[in-house]
Amino acid sequence: MKQKAVKIQLDHGFEARPVAVLVQVASQHESTVYLEAEGKKVNAKSIMGMMSLGLDSGEMVTVIADGPDEETAISNIEQYLSGKN
Protein backbone atom coordinates (compact mmCIF):
# COMPACT_ATOMS: atom_id res chain seq x y z
CA MET A 1 0.00 0.00 0.00
CA LYS A 2 1.24 3.46 -0.96
CA GLN A 3 -0.09 6.89 -0.13
CA LYS A 4 0.75 10.46 -1.04
CA ALA A 5 -0.54 13.90 -0.09
CA VAL A 6 -1.63 15.90 -3.13
CA LYS A 7 -2.89 19.47 -3.51
CA ILE A 8 -5.89 19.87 -5.83
CA GLN A 9 -4.96 22.43 -8.49
CA LEU A 10 -7.70 22.17 -11.08
CA ASP A 11 -8.51 25.38 -12.98
CA HIS A 12 -12.27 24.85 -12.92
CA GLY A 13 -12.60 23.53 -9.38
CA PHE A 14 -13.69 20.06 -8.37
CA GLU A 15 -17.30 19.87 -9.50
CA ALA A 16 -19.18 17.08 -11.30
CA ARG A 17 -17.18 16.89 -14.53
CA PRO A 18 -13.69 16.96 -12.94
CA VAL A 19 -14.87 14.37 -10.40
CA ALA A 20 -16.13 12.14 -13.24
CA VAL A 21 -12.75 12.40 -14.98
CA LEU A 22 -10.95 11.52 -11.73
CA VAL A 23 -13.17 8.44 -11.33
CA GLN A 24 -12.23 7.43 -14.90
CA VAL A 25 -8.52 7.87 -14.14
CA ALA A 26 -8.82 5.79 -10.95
CA SER A 27 -10.89 3.12 -12.70
CA GLN A 28 -8.12 2.49 -15.24
CA HIS A 29 -6.10 0.81 -12.50
CA GLU A 30 -6.41 -2.63 -11.00
CA SER A 31 -5.41 -1.37 -7.55
CA THR A 32 -7.96 -0.18 -5.04
CA VAL A 33 -7.76 3.61 -4.85
CA TYR A 34 -9.04 5.88 -2.11
CA LEU A 35 -8.99 9.62 -1.48
CA GLU A 36 -8.93 10.84 2.08
CA ALA A 37 -9.70 14.38 3.21
CA GLU A 38 -10.77 15.85 6.53
CA GLY A 39 -10.98 12.41 8.15
CA LYS A 40 -13.23 11.00 5.42
CA LYS A 41 -11.97 8.17 3.17
CA VAL A 42 -13.84 7.27 -0.03
CA ASN A 43 -13.36 4.94 -2.98
CA ALA A 44 -11.91 7.02 -5.84
CA LYS A 45 -13.70 4.75 -8.32
CA SER A 46 -17.10 5.81 -6.95
CA ILE A 47 -18.53 9.03 -8.36
CA MET A 48 -21.04 9.33 -5.49
CA GLY A 49 -18.29 8.79 -2.93
CA MET A 50 -16.07 11.38 -4.56
CA MET A 51 -18.89 13.95 -4.73
CA SER A 52 -19.57 13.40 -1.03
CA LEU A 53 -16.11 14.75 -0.16
CA GLY A 54 -17.09 18.23 -1.35
CA LEU A 55 -13.52 19.13 -2.30
CA ASP A 56 -12.34 22.31 -3.98
CA SER A 57 -9.16 23.59 -5.64
CA GLY A 58 -6.41 24.39 -3.16
CA GLU A 59 -7.36 21.63 -0.73
CA MET A 60 -5.02 18.81 0.25
CA VAL A 61 -6.04 15.16 -0.11
CA THR A 62 -4.25 11.90 0.55
CA VAL A 63 -4.29 9.45 -2.35
CA ILE A 64 -4.09 5.83 -1.14
CA ALA A 65 -3.59 2.89 -3.50
CA ASP A 66 -3.15 -0.81 -2.83
CA GLY A 67 -2.50 -3.37 -5.52
CA PRO A 68 -0.22 -4.38 -8.39
CA ASP A 69 -0.18 -0.95 -10.07
CA GLU A 70 -0.43 1.24 -6.97
CA GLU A 71 2.52 3.48 -7.85
CA THR A 72 1.18 4.18 -11.34
CA ALA A 73 -2.30 4.81 -9.94
CA ILE A 74 -1.02 7.38 -7.45
CA SER A 75 1.17 9.01 -10.08
CA ASN A 76 -1.69 9.34 -12.60
CA ILE A 77 -4.12 10.71 -10.01
CA GLU A 78 -1.52 13.16 -8.72
CA GLN A 79 -0.87 14.32 -12.28
CA TYR A 80 -4.59 14.86 -12.88
CA LEU A 81 -5.28 16.65 -9.57
CA SER A 82 -2.28 18.95 -10.00
CA GLY A 83 -3.57 20.04 -13.43
CA LYS A 84 -0.57 18.62 -15.30
CA ASN A 85 -2.43 16.33 -17.71
What would the pLDDT profile of 31-40 be if each residue is shown by its tens digit? 999 999 999 9
When divided into structural domains, the chain yields a total of 1
Number of H helices, E strands in the chain: 3, 4
Does the model's pTM come out above 0.75? yes
- pLDDT tens profile 43-57: 999 999 999 998 888
The pLDDT, as a whole number, for residue 85 is 65
What CATH code is carried by the domain that includes residue 59? 3.30.1340.10
Nearest to 19 by CA among 62, 52, 58, 41: 52
Neighbours of 43 (CB within 10 A): 15
CA angle 85, 4, 69 (to 5 degrees): 70
DSSP string, 16-49: HHHHHHHHHHHHTSSSEEEEEETTEEEETT-HHH
Residue-number span of the structural domain to which 26 is assigned: 2-81
